[in-house]
Amino acid sequence: MGFCVFLLLMSISVSLVPIGAGEGIIVPGRYVSANQSIISASGTFALGFFSVGNSTPRYYLGIWYNKIQKKSVVWVANRESPTDSLGTFSLGVDGNLVVLDATGKIVWSSNVKIAHSAINSMMGVLTDSGNFLLRSGETILWQSFDHPSDTFLPGMKVGNNRKTGQRRQLTSWIDAEDPQPGLFSFGLDTTGPLQFFIWKDHVPYSRTNVYSNSMSLTKLSRWLPFAYYVTVKLEGDDIYLSYSISDISVILRITLVPNGRLEALIWEEKNSKWFSIWQWPQVYCDFYGHCSPFSSCDKKGSPVYCQCLTGFQPKAQQEWHMRNWTSDTCVRQKALTCDKDDGFLKIETIKLPDHSYLVENMSANDCESRCLQNCSCTAYALVNASQGNSINCLSWYGDLMDIVHDIGGQILYVRVHDRELVENDGSSDNFSSRRKRSIIILVAVISLGVLAILSGYFTWRKRFGKQEIIEGSFSGTSTPIGGEAGNGDTKLNIFSLNRIQAATNDFSEDNRLGEGGFGTVYKGDLAFQEVAIKRLSKKSGQGLEEFMNESKLISKLQHTNLVRLLGCCAEGEERILVYEYMRNRSLDKFLFDPSEKANLNWSKRFRIIEGIAQGLLYLHKYSRLKVIHRDLKASNILLDDAMHPKISDFGLARMFGSDQTEADTKRVVGTYGYMSPEYAQYGKFSEKSDVFSFGVLLLEIVTGKRNAEFFRNDLPQTLQGWAWELWNEARGLDLIDPSIKDSRESPDRIFRCIHVGLLCVQESPADRPTMPLAVQMLSNDNASLPSPKEPAFSSLSRRRSGNFVAFHNTSTIYSNNELTISLPEAR
């Protein structure tokens, strides 16, 4: 944070006397050791040390929610100067809050100038709002709220002081486990009128609308049990944004997460997790400048987001039609000549452009006249016009950047050299002619629309009519994805093939992330974020059915442990899906690579197991669609920056009705070794099919062994058969991956995971637990578990002599070093 260290404080550690944890205050000459913390009056927040990293831990002084078991840090003192050993913190002899390492060296200080006469009355207090105060009597000399980290708490102010130059802004962590300052920051713009930005490495990343003065918003949510109040206020020299909520018992925080988004989170006590209720930026138009100058971004636009303003046209029509909106630009249809023919075109409901200039207390006529008399003025806007004759005047000079059409937006007057265009835009004298013209246009549009619908229908019948037969060939009652009654199709971002090619450098080998049976995955950059682009193979088994399956299904599913689909592309024979990019790739890359598996300690592995279980639980029980995944395996588990798992690849998934428990199909698809016996042999699938796959995956995570190894090395057993044998011989320790055998964790939890895994891979679906029960078994160390029966496919000899002989006569697809099988349809 750039704070200076005073030499006077170097002698503190010699004379300090410990203070008891939980007293809520700290006074000069007292210190708090690493295993203690200060607790706020009601026990809501705690101030103390926490650590990150495993091999070389780093220690930070921070504030977190004391009553939440999962430590959620909201403020960090020494985020730029962590210590490599446990230390202490104290109020120094000069009254400042200081952090000392194990040698007594000061590594951080609040560094506020305190009068010598005030030091004796100094006190540090942690409040129930999460604010740590340094005060002398009733005078606050320093507070943590003035030096935010990544979290915006109720009552905190984000903004600037025009007199002192102090800036209060959020700065993201590097990643979920590293609190050092990341690339993103959020705060008030200091170069112009009142507006807030998210910056990425000091470059605009997203922007709010322009506020001319103080404003407040009170809103009662229809689905949240409290109201919230948002205030943008000019108070003396202080300009700031703050918020509060009506129910103080609700635990709510807004965090600038490492990927650059502001996210509002509520703590769910029942499920013991944070629940996201709002994110920004979220849609395409939320990101800064993704449409060229003099064009607007329409949040409801799909697939076309950017449109040139009236009176402007694309400079290069071909580039514009290819949706290269950031590389092309909009130019005037008629150049300005700065004469009597110039006028202002009224554009409504927009987020005003960036780079405006504010003149306060001016009439509406004077604002327009002022802009018209300056040939460089390209637009103006009136704000606070309802408060009387005196308003604030905003004006723009040069390009109009980052315009967004949005509900609740403001009015912008854009300068054009076309008097007729301006006069026809809003005058009542031309209402009749405009109405007639609108009716003619409406009739023409409706006629063309009907023709387009009929043409599209017959084209669809001709091209995809066969698809109806394929869908109808399933003998079960499971509904193909996209066929949910009454809901209609979910909107997706539709990307052009040209844009996908540009994002991947024309599917360059340098951008290739991996290859599976259904196609190749590339890394791409779509300007607003890095993405993973899955290009389906024309020779793969995944045709239009699976493509529509995956795209429509994932767009309807929202869970922290499911991969997020951002959009798709379907041009010609190309079938492309665009996902959020997972920097840590898939689980199998860590789990089965000898050079990588050491990075998966037991705590990370168990967190991955829990995440996969929660994702499956959501699919089976809590999503508005009941979904059977049918292809759960290590290569289909992606890991985010914090190594949290996300279930991916829904190409084989099926949706069930709310009362449906089982379905069957003549087209058996899946991955050898993960398929349940009833599905592999008879085509019957249910929730218990996914439970079987989860059991195999759980055993893989604990043992570090790929189940496919047992098929290729001509071993007499399968993975579950090997685990069953050692389990019965009380040799459970031999099952544990050697890279985690030295874990400090108790082996009891590891054994419990093996036990649950064996329960999940039992022969009969009735013997396997449901996912709610499996989650309970994993999370409750005191829950009693039944004894498992011998697993299905425990030996390869039984498999080769039984129904699996059919596999020798089927086509095979190799995917991620695993065998994916697809049985032919019965004829």
DSSP states of 611-662 as a string? HHHHHHHIIIIISSSEEE-S---GGGEEE-TT--EEE---TT-EEE-TT--E
H-run or E-run covering 157: none
Grade residue 225 by pLDDT with cuts at 50, 70 and 90: low
Q: Is residue 553 part of a domain?
A: yes
Q: Do 658 and 521 belong to one domain?
A: no
Q: Do 113 and 45 belong to one domain?
A: yes
- The reply to whether 534 sits in an annotated binding site is yes
Q: Is residue 655 part of a domain?
A: yes
Catalytic annotation, pick one of 402, 631, 640, 690: 631
Residue 713's beta-bridge partner residues? none
Grade residue 205 by pLDDT with cuts at 50, 70 and 90: very high
Q: Is residue 335 part of a domain?
A: yes
Closest CA relative to residue 499, chosen from 521, 519, 520, 528? 528
Q: Is the pLDDT of residue 139 over 70?
A: yes
Q: How many whole angstroms separate alpha carbon 535 and alpha carbon 541?
A: 13
Q: Is the pLDDT of residue 477 over 80?
A: no
Q: Is residue 458 part of a domain?
A: no
**Domain termination site, one of 147, 168, 185:** 147
Q: Do 3 and 80 belong to one domain?
A: yes
Q: Taking the chain, what is the end-to-end CA distance rounded to the nearest angstrom?
A: 72
Q: Do 543 and 407 belong to one domain?
A: no
Range of the domain at 559: 478-581
Identity of residue 668:
V
pTM of the model: 0.52
Q: Do 420 and 514 belong to one domain?
A: no
Grade residue 444 by pLDDT with cuts at 50, 70 and 90: low
**Domain termination site, one of 427, 443, 465:** 427
Specify the range with the lowest mean pLDDT, choosing from 142-151, 453-462, 659-668.
453-462
Query: Is 631 an active-site residue?
Result: yes
Grade residue 655 by pLDDT with cuts at 50, 70 and 90: confident
The total of structural domains in the chain comes to 4
pLDDT of res. 823: 33
Q: Is residue 188 part of a domain?
A: no
Q: How many whole angstroms separate alpha carbon 222 and alpha carbon 230?
A: 17
Q: Is residue 225 part of a domain?
A: no
Q: Do 638 and 761 belong to one domain?
A: yes
Q: Do 599 and 570 belong to one domain?
A: no
Grade residue 224 by pLDDT with cuts at 50, 70 and 90: low
Could you read off the pLDDT of 738-758 as tens digits, one per residue? Answer: 888 766 566 788 999 999 999
Q: How many whole angstroms separate alpha carbon 193 and alpha carbon 714?
A: 72
Q: Do 495 and 560 belong to one domain?
A: yes
Beta-carbon contacts of 392 under 8 Å, excluding residues fewer than 6 positions away, are: 212, 213, 358, 359, 360, 361, 362, 382, 383, 384
Of 138-142, 541-545, 647-651, give the range with the top mean pLDDT.
138-142
Specify the range with the lowest mean pLDDT, choosing from 208-212, 235-239, 450-454, 658-662.
450-454
Please report, for the domain that includes residue 771, its CATH number: 1.10.510.10
Number of H helices, E strands in the chain: 17, 51
Cα dihedral angle (605, 608, 610, 614), rounded to 10 degrees? -170
**Domain termination site, one of 147, 174, 192:** 147
Please report, for the domain that includes residue 534, its CATH number: 3.30.200.20
Give all strands of the β-sheet with 227-235 in edge-to-edge order: 167-168, 158-161, 238-245, 227-235, 215-220
Closest CA relative to residue 224, chosen from 166, 267, 163, 288? 267
* Burial classification of residue 20, based on how many CB atoms lie within 10 Å of its CB (0-12 exposed, 13-18 middle, 19 or more buried): exposed
Q: How many whole angstroms separate alpha carbon 676 and alpha carbon 701?
A: 18
Q: Do 529 and 636 belong to one domain?
A: no
Q: Do 614 and 522 belong to one domain?
A: no
Please report, for the domain that includes residue 5, its CATH number: 2.90.10.10
Q: Is residue 384 part of a domain?
A: yes
Q: How far is CA 671 from CA 170, 628, 819, 820, in A?
A: 46, 15, 6, 4
Q: Do 637 and 748 belong to one domain?
A: yes
More confident residue, 425 or 63: 63
Grade residue 303 by pLDDT with cuts at 50, 70 and 90: low
Mean pLDDT of the chain: 78
pLDDT of res. 818: 41
Q: Is residue 613 part of a domain?
A: yes
Q: Do 561 and 697 belong to one domain?
A: no
Closest CA relative to residue 392, chosen from 415, 373, 366, 413? 366
